[in-house]
Amino acid sequence: MTPADRRPIVWAFSTSRLRHVFESVAPLMADVAEVRVFDKGFEEALQVARELRQAGEEVDAFVAAGTNGAYLRDHADVPVVVVTASTVDALQALVQARKLSKRIGVVNFRRTVAGLEGVHLIDDTVIEQRPYVTPEEGQAAVDDLSARGFKVIVGPGPICSVAERAGLRAVLLYGQDSLEEAIRQAAEVSRIARVEGSRRTHLQAMFQHLEVGMVAVDTEERIQAINPALQRLLGVTAAEVHGRRLSAVAPELAIGPVLEGGPPEIETVQRIGVSAAVVSRFPLHEHGVLRGAVLTCQPAPLIQRLERGLRSTHRPPRFVARYALSGLVGDSPAMVRLRELAGRYARTDATVLITGESGTGKEMVAQGIHGASRRRDRPFVAVNCAAFPETLLEAELFGYEEGAFTGSRRGGRPGLFEAAHTGTLFLDEIGDVPVTLQTRLLRVLQERQVLRLGSNDPTPVDVRVIAATHRDLRQAIARGEFREDLYYRLDILPLHLPPLRERGEADVELIASDLLKRALLRHDAADAHRRALSMVLPRLRGHLWPGNVRELENVLERVAVLFADRDPRARVTDEELAAVMPEVSESAARAPAPVEPPAPAPIDLRAARAAQERALIERTVAECGGNQAEAARRLGIGRTTLYRKLGRVRA
């Protein structure tokens, strides 16, 4: 059992007849608290408590009544509950008092007893209440009531003793109900105190082990707590600086403005000694009152280590569109029309077919359409259909079940159609999809259902398809290389991207300015943009840009490298510029005629299977971090078989 779970220990103090009531109530409250009764009061009670605690005895709270309780509450270092008379006990005391006299005086500590106003047990009974604070006031109240003919006094134990010494009858105000309630309150107070103490201990442990330096100060900027991280940074110990002003210990960390009512200071960069740190200052308020402030300090090495950790563990989302239609730079009629059509297409879910030469930005347009559509918050999945052999492309697109083929992943794998569910699937280089696979692709587009390899249960998918190609699909249809029915299934919303040479010099200059600015920013040479652009633009005129925007981007990247890490006053010469722009140095350069890629060679099924097996083995080993035993387990083959296949792959 932890200290927070044990029964509360309550010590009750009284030197009057109330002690006997405590002793009778204590056994009845054993399930609530362990109650110990002492015939002590005031300073004598404190002295006994100190001696017992020094001897190793535990106590969670004190209980006492009247002036004794008030004294203990003001001087004890543990919670003190002062007994309050309950209405039930007061009425019971009045019943007993009425048997002794018709004139009853009620003398209670600090306040009158609630609920007795207008109480008359018999018509000729007179009840008068008097509060008191000091023993002298209690004595005076009893004397006055006696002089006025009151024969019985109801009150706490000390008042009962005063009344009896004055020749009056006395009835104890407190009974079992009042003491039980006081003990319950003491038990609850001690429980809360233990919980808060445990929480403070936990927070203190956290405070001590934080790598971020922290210090707490009071309203006069005096240090109340400082953790080891900041002690190490400042080269001090907690004992040396406790109670000293923070500005005297480390002037650069002064927190005065925040204590004077200024706003919090969040993540300001400061130099502490010979190193930099990120410092924040916050005021501490309790019930709306300023109680002090906290300063946190993150040294540069810690920030750098955290940044490295974030870079190594964080990976950007795999299926996210990064470009918007607003990023399509250009004011030529063709680009204005392109943006208008793309924005219109984004408002529908129909299939889009984007055509254009390589390097014109087909995927950028596809991402822009997705980003402007109702599916913008869903996945954008892109696949280059020319990058996979037929068998692997089929598995990538449609997925497979466990055991569908040799080397298939245990548990199977969903395809990209399923990964793009509720989002957009971008099929780049659709013209390079093998004819044998086009039939399956057509069926998925028609039925909106995917059948994984090795499965008989189709999976419904909600996918918007955007396809792109640099090939002339009509010519491919005429050669029997592309299915006509698939073409018409794709060519619902056609969108053609003009080559850069047809967009005019104004568009080339706008794009060049934007790309050069981005490139210079990457190389920390943003200030050179105007100077570099003025030297570059004349050389761009007249070039036909066979590589389109991609070629222009490559050229400007080299220009940015030329302007990076140079003295701003150093002039870039024409010879240096010409050296990094050889393809545009001759204004008479012409764009080569589009070259149709050769027809694909006949497929060797054995070679395709070998390629498929090789790719799966290498991918699985990579996913297992090079652990070949784990890779063999995932592939469902023995380690000997894996070693043999790996040897064949590497051969």
- What pLDDT shows up at residue 66? 85
- What pLDDT shows up at residue 594? 44
- What pLDDT shows up at residue 3? 55
- What pLDDT shows up at residue 405? 57
- What pLDDT shows up at residue 312? 47
Q: Which of 173-177, 190-194, 548-552 has the lowest mean pLDDT?
A: 190-194
- What pLDDT shows up at residue 304? 64
- What pLDDT shows up at residue 278? 87
Buried b (16+ CB within 10 A) or exposed e, 387-425: ebebbbbbbbbbbbbeebeebbbeebbebbbbbbbebbb
- What pLDDT shows up at residue 407? 53
Residue whose C-alpha is closest to residue 616's, from 402, 452, 440, 427: 402
Average pLDDT over residues 88-94: 86
pLDDT tens for each residue of 279-304: 999 998 887 888 899 999 888 776 66
Of the pLDDT bands very low, low, confident and very high (cuts 50, 70, 90), residue 88 is confident
Of the pLDDT bands very low, low, confident and very high (cuts 50, 70, 90), residue 604 is low
Residue ranges of the chain that CATH labels 3.30.450.20: 210-304
Q: Which amino acid is at 309?
A: G
- What pLDDT shows up at residue 635? 75
Which residue has 């030197």 as its token pair?
15
**Segment of 24-38, 311-325, 448-462, 580-594 carrying the highest mean pLDDT:** 24-38
- What pLDDT shows up at residue 367? 93
Average pLDDT over residues 563-574: 74
Q: Which are the contacts of 604, defined by CB distance < 8 A and separation ≥ 6?
A: none
- What pLDDT shows up at residue 122? 53
Superfamily of domain 210-304: PAS domain (3.30.450.20)
Average pLDDT over residues 264-280: 83
Average pLDDT over residues 612-629: 75
- What pLDDT shows up at residue 593? 43
pLDDT at 81 over 90: yes
Torsion angle, alpha carbons of 470, 472, 478, 480, to 10: 10
Average pLDDT over residues 152-178: 91
Residue ranges of the chain that CATH labels 3.40.50.300: 325-498
C-alpha distances (whole Å) from 602 to each of 390, 434, 478, 607 are 12, 10, 18, 11
- What pLDDT shows up at residue 148? 92
pLDDT at 231 over 80: yes
- What pLDDT shows up at residue 207? 67
- What pLDDT shows up at residue 587? 46
pLDDT at 345 over 90: yes
> Using an 8 Å Cβ cutoff, are 435 and 322 in contact?
no
Q: Which one has a higher pLDDT value, 319 or 2? A: 319
Cite the DSSP H helix spans in 376-472.
390-398, 416-419, 435-447
Q: Which of 212-226, 502-516, 619-633 has the lowest mean pLDDT?
A: 619-633
Q: Which one has a higher pLDDT value, 637 or 29? A: 29
- What pLDDT shows up at residue 118? 59
- What pLDDT shows up at residue 308? 55
Half-sphere exposure of 378 (CA within 13 A, CB side): 16
- What pLDDT shows up at residue 262? 82
pLDDT at 429 over 70: yes
pTM: 0.45
What is the separation of C-alpha 245 from the centre of its chain, rounded to a whole number of angstroms? 34
Cite the DSSP H helix spans in 347-379.
362-371
Q: What are phi and psi of 74, to 5 degrees?
A: -80, -20
Average pLDDT over residues 149-161: 92
Q: What does the alpha-carbon distance between residue 175 and residue 114 come to, in Å, rounded to a whole number?
A: 15
Residue ranges of the chain that CATH labels 3.40.50.10660: 9-193
Q: What does the alpha-carbon distance between residue 82 and residue 63 come to, in Å, rounded to a whole number?
A: 6
Of the pLDDT bands very low, low, confident and very high (cuts 50, 70, 90), residue 269 is confident
Which percentage of the chain shows pLDDT scores above 70?
A: 86
The sheet with strand 152-155 has its strands ordered as 126-132, 103-109, 152-155, 169-172
- What pLDDT shows up at residue 203? 62
Residue ranges of the chain that CATH labels 1.10.10: 605-646
> Using an 8 Å Cβ cutoff, are 106 and 127 in contact?
yes
Q: Which of 409-418, 463-472, 584-593, 620-629 has the lowest mean pLDDT?
A: 584-593
pLDDT tens for each residue of 243-260: 899 999 988 888 888 898
Average pLDDT over residues 340-355: 93
CATH of region 605-646: 1.10.10
Q: Residue 126 carries which DSSP code? A: E
Q: Which of 43-52, 117-126, 621-630 has the lowest mean pLDDT?
A: 117-126
Of the pLDDT bands very low, low, confident and very high (cuts 50, 70, 90), residue 641 is confident
Q: Which are the contacts of 23, defined by CB distance < 8 A and separation ≥ 6?
A: 37
Of the pLDDT bands very low, low, confident and very high (cuts 50, 70, 90), residue 315 is very low
Q: Which of 314-323, 463-472, 520-529 has the lowest mean pLDDT?
A: 314-323
Fold classification of 325-498 (topology level) = Rossmann fold (3.40.50)
Q: Which of 39-53, 89-103, 297-311, 564-578 has the lowest mean pLDDT?
A: 297-311
CATH of region 9-193: 3.40.50.10660
- What pLDDT shows up at residue 649? 45
- What pLDDT shows up at residue 310? 52
- What pLDDT shows up at residue 113? 81
Q: What does the alpha-carbon distance between residue 458 and residue 452 come to, in Å, rounded to a whole number?
A: 7
- Compute the mean pLDDT over every residue in the chain, rounded to the nearest whole number: 83
Which residue has 């006025």 as its token pair?
148
